[in-house]
Amino acid sequence: MYSIKAVAQATGLTVETLRAWERRYGIVVPSRDAGGRRMYGAEDVLRLRRLREATERGHAIGRLAGLSDEDLARLLDEPTDRRERAVADAFVERMLDAAQRFRSADCEQTLTLAIAMLPPARLVREVLQPLLREVGERWHRGEFAISQERLVSTVVRRHVALMLDAYDRTARRGPIVFATLPGERHELGLLTSAMVSASHGFKVHYLGPDLPPAEIARFARETGAIAVGLSLVLQESLRALGNQLEQLVAGLPPEACVWLGGAAARNVPADSLPARCLVLQDGADLERRLELLSG
């Protein structure tokens, strides 16, 4: 629980603004301690951060107050205007065109510019994910050769890894381990998630693909990890998932949680997961979890 002064520091809002918003709009309902002082939970802090960001984008607090946490998150996930979306789409088209013409240098140059212009989460959501999805679809349709697919994936992997390394040098928050379980070798989604986590100030340990659960758990235990991120892309990976997660959780630090992401993870029923394991539906869900861990 957090005092109103601590919440003001964590959200960038003044104490006066917090009290005014509570009084006029009931945006959060703090509890009271034995002395009658306002006390806020982590979910309150997260909601207030989002409200502040939305007002900075020009939205009226009176309209925002009635939105659910999910609606507010969706609002912030939207590009601020069509021009910004057009910029992201242009990056994707330029990289696809470069791959079509086998121009690795052009692909590199375009991605470098996108990295310079866009914050990490938007870069992943609006450029890298659409780009990699379209490359995969063109390959399946026979419009791209495997060499063209590799051109794009190699450029993306190299630059995301460089971003991860740069953010890691100034990391001050708790460690998060990223890996995949045996048989899972698709790692670009995992790598981008690791980079986004590092951009939030977390110490990221990227182990890469195809690791036994006991080894992931051992590394997490030795580094005092607060979370483990796993990527599940292949449907066949789900057959052994239950036993693998049980092994992993059994070896983790007591407070560490396990996040499952990727196309196959979305097909895992929540009630089939061991304790401390949860499925993240998308990048916005990852960012919400990171914000909660940030306090």
Range of the domain at 283: 171-294
For residue 260, the domain's CATH number is 3.40.50.280
Say if residue 158's pLDDT is above 80. yes
**What's the mean pLDDT in 11-24?**
85
Say if residue 12's pLDDT is above 90. no
Instruction: Output the pTM of the full model.
Output: 0.73
Query: Do residue 176 and residue 220 come from a single domain?
Result: yes
164, 191, 222 - which closes a domain: 164
State the chain's mean pLDDT as an integer. 90
52: CB partners within 8 A, 6+ apart: 11, 12, 13
SS (H, E, C) 177-219: EEECCCCCCCCHHHHHHHHHHHHCCEEEEEEECCCCHHHHHHH
pLDDT-derived band at 79 (thresholds 50, 70, 90) equals low
For residue 42, the domain's CATH number is 1.10.1660.10
C-beta separation of 220 from 252 below 8 A? yes
Query: Do residue 180 and residue 274 come from a single domain?
Result: yes
Query: Do residue 183 and residue 282 come from a single domain?
Result: yes
Query: Do residue 10 and residue 93 come from a single domain?
Result: no
Comparing C-alpha atoms, which of 167, 130, 168, 179 is closest to residue 152? 130
* Domain count of the fold of the chain: 3
Q: What percentage of the chain reaches a pLDDT higher than 70?
A: 97
Query: Do residue 272 and residue 184 come from a single domain?
Result: yes
Query: Do residue 111 and residue 199 come from a single domain?
Result: no
116, 143, 164 - which closes a domain: 164
Q: What is the pLDDT at residue 295? A: 61
